[in-house]
A and B are shown apart, each in its own frame.
Chain A
Amino acid sequence: MQLIINGQTKDVDVEAEMPLLWVLRDVLNLTGTKFGCGVSACGACTVLVDGVAMRSCSVPASSVAGASITTIEAQTMPDTLQSRVQAAWIAHQVPQCGYCQSGQIMAAVALLSENQAPSDADIDAAMSNICRCGTYGRVRAAIHSLKTV
């Protein structure tokens, strides 16, 4: 099947039901997307599929063939939303162990692309990813700092 990842088309020969997470990590060696729970409960594996945040551990690769998949490794221009989110994450010194942050960042990109000025309630609803280091306050502050209206 063909997957379009960060703008590049990749031919992969895998089972139709193999989750996108493992295709990214173990077949394409894009290891920035993390494995946390395997049951869509923690969000560490969050990627964008046509701009929508999805938990790649529970998305069969065949179901997103032909869609535009964006991961944390996307080479972004300085002014794109993803690069601005990443810069805000540094400015707010968000990550601790950092393992969940690829997923947090992709979830934040999805939120901010839909909603340029999310409220606290919007953030609560969109950012359900688990962070065991408890960086939630900094995640919230970093997202608020990116409000554009």
Chain B
Amino acid sequence: MVMITRRKLMVGAALAGGGVLLGYAMAPFSTIDRARKLAAGDGALLVTWVRITPDNRVTVIVPHSEMGQGVHTAMPMMLAEELDADWALVGMEQAPADMAFANGPLGKGYLGLADPSIPKFLTGLTDFGARKAAEFLNVQSTGGSTSVRFTGVVGMRRAGAAARWMLVQAAAKSWNVAVDEITTKDSRLFHTASGKSASYGEMASFAADFDPPANLPLKDPENYTIVGAPKARFDIPAKVDGSAIYGVDMRLPGMMFAAVKACPVFGGKLKNFDAKMVQNRRGIKSVYGIGDNAVAVVADNSWRAQQALAALPIEWDEGANAAHNSVAIFAGMQAALDKGDFDSDYDFGDAEAAANAAPKQIEAIYQVPWLAHATMEPMNCTAHFSGGRLDIWGGFQDGLAARVRAAGISGLPLEMVTLHHTAMGGGFGRRGSTLNYMDQAILLAMQLDFPVNVIWSREEDMTQDYYRNASVAKMRAGLDATGRPVGWQQDYTEKREPEDATWLPYAIADRRARVVSGTDPIPFGAWRSVAHTQHGFFIESFIDELAHAAGRDPLEYRRDLLADAPDHKLVLEAAAQMSGWAMPAPMGRARGIAIRQSFGTIVAQVAEISVDQEGKARVHKVWCAVDPGEVVNPDTFVAQMESGIIYGLTAALYGEISILKGRVVEQNFPDYEMIRQADAPVIEVKLMPSGRPTGGAGEPGTPPISAAVANAVFALTKQRIRSLPLRRHDLRGGIEQAKAS
């Protein structure tokens, strides 16, 4: 074990077989005292490791999980860039779920090494940041689109620069030449005057002796050769030949499979089950209660377990929640907004008075339903309890937090719990902190003396999710004599992260947002871009309403209101230009536009739609302009925009979880439909990195799309869509109206 002192930023240790292992020790916070105490603790935290071996290979150890967003390639790119490594010799490993690899920089990123784009209403940020740091220092969270912008920017880059510095010192000493005469390129060190050169691998064993200073200079982005150039993702080859091992693919000696059913009513309990009815079936080991609300059938294969579970008589105690239904919950949300027991989100000037003083007022009520994650790989977890030790296998967005939770569930000390990462068949927030499936696997494994792979059916996955919350929003504003909005007011139900999701980019002096809480009894979980999904729809639809009410072009209207937000304006104009906004859409089609900043990235989208004979919207094309500050792997970034758009489009067109008798109605893909190839629009993405602080990639593509589509529907049909999904609306009448007018 390497001992770390607070004075050191980067520490090295010689490897037994030659080469060097480098750890990055987190620098103490210098500006915010409370955070410094949190971060420093008894010593600095190790957050990143890189290994350089005698064969001149560089292995970057990444403390984040790969779900197809490309983080296992982007992080090594950032480190390799500062190291001047030969990309062909760079590889990666995922860090184990151990405190030594907690991603402290995530907390530090939140602490603002101030992102100037953070809205001013959040400038009580010191406390917010410190709270975040406390939460994040103990985790390896892959969420919030944070990996590249926090771990990458704060951790990987500095680790690469420090490793390079150490290698240069080692070469200078070994060749007895001045440090500043040494150059590096493609994983080699050069001294031109003497003609000496060596590979990093040859020099690595000596590098461990040098302690790099803090605050080494980083490269000028102008000189990047790896970052900013498209690189093939490391994880892809194993995903085209079936060799990638996902959680459902875990196979261990003696392992059995479990099918599980939990009480379909949230909060309900398991009352009774009659194991006799299935116990003698072929391949069935036995039937087990899990915790107080679920039952598992364990068998030698999944199908036998599923069949037996389906035949098993189970009695539930459905409890108090069995009365819940969607209609009543939405009515309660409306009533809560009318009653007005609000907390303030932000409040500048006097929005109500400003709107009332205007010659015209516009008011509209918007609504969105619950959404399921529906990852392609249903929730699953493999667990083995043996000799007082617990091993867990699965796909986790936050391995360390999952391991800490597993210790709590099992009652074992943390050091007796080992978590093994597998590939992950989609995350989108589901595999972060909502781990009911892992809890089940642990509680079942502790009743067994062999490993068990708990695999949910699609129906279980759909009905035992933690959902994107439903929400109702009352939007109100005035229009002054020139049609400009005054007195922006947003009242809505249920505040979710991130804190700034209701932020308004438009220059409206008097504005406020207020929230009522406690209206949604359905289990909540982070869902790709979290609260930005609903606020993107509310805000960008309502500003579009105001534009039309003012008789203005929706692009022009937004552009005027973004006079003080030049970055937003550029992105908005780029999306409009890509779409040919100035020219009319092809016959029978119309375009809508929306812009949203989330997770540090500004995204504008134009959607072009038509309405078919059944009154359903078809999205033909989406143009997407994006300013993420900087781009690490351009091809991956484009892929994440494509992905975020399709994910958001599924929600906009089809997505709806409904509640009846306290349980989820939708069961499987036939009644929770997805965008498929035939419905998928052509997507064109333009990357416009401006040098602003690095923003996220995984989530920001999702928030604008529902409003862009709904605004296009209005442009075509004069029918304003104020509730999702779109399939609930018959758009035929609207079209006839539009023709008549």
Contact = CB atoms under 8 A, between A and B. Distances in A.
A102 B425 CA distance: 12
Contacts of B677: 123-124, 127-129, 136, 139-140
B669 A133 contact: no
Interface string A44-62: 1000000000000000000
B680 A136 contact: yes
Contacts of B239: 95, 98, 101
A93 interface: yes
Interface in B357-387: 374-378
A1 to B, nearest CB: 15
B374 A132 contact: yes
B458 interface: yes
Nearest to A128: B676
Nearest to A98: B239
Interface string A86-97: 100110011111
B642 A135 contact: yes
A97 B69 CA distance: 8
Contact of A22 (B302, B675, B682): B302
Contacts of A41: 668-670
A132 B375 contact: yes
A64 to B, nearest CB: 15
B455 A97 contact: no
A107 B678 CA distance: 14
Interface string B406-440: 00000000000000000111111000000000000
B384 to A, nearest CB: 18
Contacts of B246: 31, 34, 99
Nearest to B425: A99
Given A99-B425, A138-B639, A93 B232 contact: yes
Contacts of B683: 137
Given A99-B376, A99-B426, A134-B646, A93 B242 contact: no
Contact of B301 (A26, A39, A134): A26
A121 to B, nearest CB: 9
Given A128-B676, A130-B676, A137 B377 contact: no
A101 B237 CA distance: 11
Interface string B631-644: 00001100100111
B657 to A, nearest CB: 15
Nearest to A73: B242
Interface in B172-206: none
A132 B241 contact: no
Contacts of B428: 132
A18 interface: yes
Contacts of B67: 96-97
A132 B376 CA distance: 6
Contacts of A29: 251
Contact of A26 (B302, B458, B645, B682): B302
A102 B377 CA distance: 13
Q: Which of B232, B241, B377, B670 has the most CB of A within 10 A?
A: B241
B425 A34 contact: yes
Given A90-B232, A98-B425, A132-B426, A34 B248 contact: yes
A27 B301 contact: yes
B231 to A, nearest CB: 10
Interface in A111-149: 123-125, 127-140
Contact of A134 (B242, B670, B678, B680): B680
Given A93-B232, A134-B680, A26 B240 contact: no
Chain A, interface size category, equals 35 or more
A97 B241 contact: no
A107 to B, nearest CB: 10
B242 A95 contact: no
B425 A97 contact: yes
B233 A42 contact: no
B249 interface: yes
A32 to B, nearest CB: 2
Interface string B568-586: 0000000000000000000
A127 B677 CA distance: 6
Q: Which of A42, A102, A132, A138 has the most CB of B within 10 A?
A: A132
B276 interface: no
A37 interface: yes
Chain B, interface size category, equals 35 or more
A35 B67 CA distance: 17
B236 interface: yes
B303 interface: yes
A96 B68 contact: yes
B647 interface: yes
B678 A86 contact: no
Contacts of B249: 25, 31
A40 to B, nearest CB: 9
B480 to A, nearest CB: 41
B458 A97 contact: no
A73 B241 contact: yes
B165 to A, nearest CB: 33
B696 to A, nearest CB: 15
B244 A98 contact: yes
Contacts of B242: 30-33, 71-73, 102
Interface in B648-705: 668-670, 674-678, 680, 682-683
B123 interface: no
A105 B240 contact: yes
A90 B59 CA distance: 22
B561 to A, nearest CB: 31
B678 A93 contact: no
A137 B680 contact: yes
A135 B455 CA distance: 25
Given A35-B302, A135-B643, A98 B241 contact: no
B601 to A, nearest CB: 17
Q: Which of A95, A98, A100 has the most CB of B within 10 A?
A: A98
B503 interface: no
Contacts of A44: 376
Given A34-B248, A72-B242, A134-B647, A97 B639 contact: no
10 contacts: A30-B242, A31-B248, A34-B376, A34-B425, A35-B455, A38-B457, A89-B236, A95-B235, A97-B424, A136-B680
Q: Which 3 A-B pairs have the closest CB atoms?
A: A32-B242, A134-B646, A96-B68
Interface of B: 67-69, 232-233, 235-246, 248-249, 251, 257, 282, 300-303, 306, 374-378, 423-428, 455, 457-458, 635-636, 639, 642-647, 668-670, 674-678, 680, 682-683
Interface of A: 15, 18-19, 22, 25-27, 29-39, 41-42, 44, 71-73, 86, 89-90, 93-102, 105, 123-125, 127-140
Given A35-B455, A36-B378, A98-B240, 8 more contacts: A22-B301, A34-B376, A35-B248, A73-B242, A90-B240, A100-B376, A130-B676, A136-B675
